[in-house]
A and B are shown apart, each in its own frame.
Chain A
Amino acid sequence: MKASILTMLVLMGQTTETATGAVEEPAVDAGVMLEEAMLDEEELSAEESALLGELLDESENTFKPSLRFYGFMDFTYGAYLNGGTLWDRVLDANSDFYVGNINLYAEGNLSPQWKSLFEIRFMFLPHGREEGADFTDPRVEQRVDTTTDDYADFLRPLQWGTVEIERAYVEWAPLDVFRVRLGRFLTPYGIWNVDHGSPVVVTTRRPFVIGAEYFPERQTGLEFYGNTAAGPIQVGYHLTLSNGRGPVDTYNDLDNNKAIGGRLTFKTVALGPLSWGVSAYYGEFTDSRRIVANAGTSDQTIEPIQFESFEELSLGFDVQWQVANFLVQSELLMNQINWDDDARRFGNGAQVQPDRIQYGAYGLLGYELPWIPVMPYFLYQYVDEGAPVGFLGRNVGAQFSHVLGAGIYSRILPNVVLKAAYDWSTYPSNLADIGAQPASETPAADNFQRFEAQVAVAF
């Protein structure tokens, strides 16, 4: 309580800003109000006094900065069910247990109008990642080994992991209709990308079209957003200005060409919670590196050259509707890539990457059982990559994919979720035509089936 009184004294007489942006004297004299509250405190029990202190700390006129930690994690069992196909060569055909996400949030409430948030993911990676050929035998993949000596335990072996910064920003919110985030933020598009936490999303892993990142998953720059009511509809907007995509877009804009994006959202509860939105992103991907020109001569210089560069335009539409016990959710996304001819990436089979329009969608239909907290669902996904994709270094023509899935999502507690999912994915291809697939194998070898079970918790 002493802290609250101190805060009260410091902030006494402070002006506030209205929803229209005009600064005015508060309608209530907070200082007088709180003095009265304190004078009356003897009427309150100890529990009530504690609650009063917490409320005064949150109250705008007597705000007290705070820091909150929370997060989520998940544990998964996954297995491919139809081993023996060509997919064994690129996918781990064994069944596995793994801890997928350990995400920690730190939210700083700095003032009624300022806050900060960072979210980090703890990972075991890069340990075990296969990258490139082993120098002892070029046919063998080399594995990253992070094993080191644990000086606190007789130098016994210890494997270190890494941290991924999912987002980190400072937010200024002077008005409901105008808020700004500065830093690294999740790109505001669709449903999945921002929900992203495993207890919140329905399936055990994100749909392919989301994982393909037709929109960048995150951006570094500015995000302006806000919302307002228009009759029974809540209308929201997002505008982004960022480094765009690139190999080091977290802190470098290698083409000095900022990417722009936007999103409009609409929500209503008139027919059950219904929200829909449209999103767009336009930017340029550039991978430029410095090279030494005229090495060893008096004209030696270090110059940037563009290794890869393309312009891209992404568009999206999403809808989510909860009506009765049904959940309907869908996202449609497209991404157009136009390569710079002087900096076109080499693709599979030494072919240059073509310009292309790729698009995809998923549709999810769930029904939450009325008597137990279990939601069976069906999921259909479609992806057209716009050009043949590679497989084992060859152009195999697998351009389209269909995925049929079914599963259950059970919220046994508000912060504990159990999931099970089965996916059947098919990639029609010309594997046999190019000799990558023995003629004796049936086209069924082009599909794979996967089962996953997951427990996800929020803490």
Chain B
Amino acid sequence: MKTVKWAILALILSAPNLAWAEPLAVVVSKQVKLDSLSMAQLRQVFLGEPSKHGGVKLLPLNLPGQSPERSQFDQVVLGMDPKQVARFWVDQRIRGKAKPPKTIPSASTLVRLVAKVPGAIGYVPVSEVGDQVQIVRIDGKAPSDADYPLQ
């Protein structure tokens, strides 16, 4: 019985991490011909460096700072936690540089917006992708690949 209790407790404590287990897909509108980005290019887009593809300015979209997907993305792609990212953007503003990506309240809203705005680019759990948007390969890897970097 004691073992079962500990198992349940461990399951509860690990619940937030379970949400991270799903790979993140980087998505753009189906009408933008953007099939693949390198990790460095993705980082550049989400750190506000001017980025264009096929004549269209890329507009990065973030999920809320409290979401596990955002933490995962910030850590893997930007090498920072959300607080460090928030600091980074305050600092960039004072330097007179770029402004941060717009925060979208949920993955489903992000998908719907990306589908409608040329150049918008965001990330969502693979299960949220649907058929309105296309997935961008990262370093040539798709989310289903074993060595996909946004696992």
A residues adjacent to B (C-beta < 8 A): 16-19, 24-28, 30, 33, 36-37, 40, 43-44, 47-48, 51-52, 54-56, 58-61, 68, 70, 72, 105, 107, 112, 117, 119, 167, 173, 176, 194-197, 199-200, 227, 229, 232, 234, 269, 272-273, 373, 411, 414-415, 458
Contact = CB atoms under 8 A, between A and B. Distances in A.
Contact of A415 (B56, B79, B90, B120): B90
B49 A232 contact: no
A373 B83 contact: yes
B44 interface: yes
Q: B33, B52, B54, B89 — which one has the most chain A CB atoms within 10 A of its CB?
A: B52
A216 to B, nearest CB: 18
A194 B102 CA distance: 25
A414 B90 contact: yes
Given A16-B55, A176-B49, A47 B94 contact: no
A55 B120 contact: yes
Given A56-B117, A112-B57, A411 B52 contact: no
A70 B55 CA distance: 30
Contacts of B89: 414
A7 B104 CA distance: 23
Contact of B109 (A24, A48, A61): A48
B141 interface: no
Q: A47, A173, A414 — which one has the most chain B CB atoms within 10 A of its CB?
A: A414
B16 interface: no
> Per DSSP, are chain B's interface residues mostly helix, strand or loop, or mixed?
mixed
Given A27-B55, A33-B118, A60-B56, 17 more contacts: A18-B52, A27-B32, A28-B118, A37-B116, A47-B105, A51-B104, A51-B113, A55-B117, A58-B59, A59-B118, A194-B95, A196-B94, A227-B49, A229-B40, A234-B49, A269-B43, A414-B87
Contacts of A272: 79
B91 interface: yes
9 contacts: A26-B56, A30-B118, A51-B102, A55-B59, A59-B117, A60-B57, A68-B99, A197-B91, A414-B89
Contacts of B54: 18, 26-28
A167 B96 CA distance: 10
B89 to A, nearest CB: 8
- Interface range for B: 35 or more
Interface in B34-58: 40, 43-44, 49-50, 52-57
Contacts of A167: 96
Interface in B76-118: 79, 83, 86-87, 89-91, 93-96, 99, 102, 104-105, 109, 112-113, 116-118
B94 to A, nearest CB: 4
Interface of B: 29, 31-33, 40, 43-44, 49-50, 52-57, 59, 61, 79, 83, 86-87, 89-91, 93-96, 99, 102, 104-105, 109, 112-113, 116-120
A70 B57 contact: no
A70 B98 CA distance: 13
Given A27-B32, A37-B117, A72 B102 contact: no
A119 B31 CA distance: 40
B94 A18 contact: no
A26 B90 CA distance: 33
Contacts of B119: 28, 59-60
In order of increasing CB-CB distance, the 9 nearest A-B pairs are A27-B54, A197-B94, A414-B86, A60-B57, A37-B116, A16-B55, A28-B118, A55-B117, A26-B55
Contacts of B61: 55
Contacts of B57: 59-60, 112
A176 B55 contact: no
A36 B52 contact: no
Nearest to A119: B96
Contacts of B117: 37, 52, 55-56, 59
B92 to A, nearest CB: 9
B107 to A, nearest CB: 13
Contacts of B93: 70, 105, 458
Contacts of B99: 68
A232 B83 contact: no
A61 B50 CA distance: 15
A222 B32 CA distance: 36
Q: B29, B33, B105, B109 — which one has the most chain A CB atoms within 10 A of its CB?
A: B109
A55 B44 contact: no
A28 B32 contact: yes
Given A176-B50, A199-B90, A48 B96 contact: no
B87 A411 contact: yes
A119 B79 CA distance: 31
Nearest to B88: A414
A239 to B, nearest CB: 18
Nearest to B96: A117
Contact of A55 (B40, B50, B105, B113): B113
Given A27-B32, A269-B43, A16 B91 contact: no
A51 B101 CA distance: 12
A265 B52 CA distance: 22
Nearest to B97: A194
A18 B53 CA distance: 8
Given A24-B55, A200-B94, A54 B102 contact: yes
Nearest to A72: B94
A68 B96 CA distance: 11
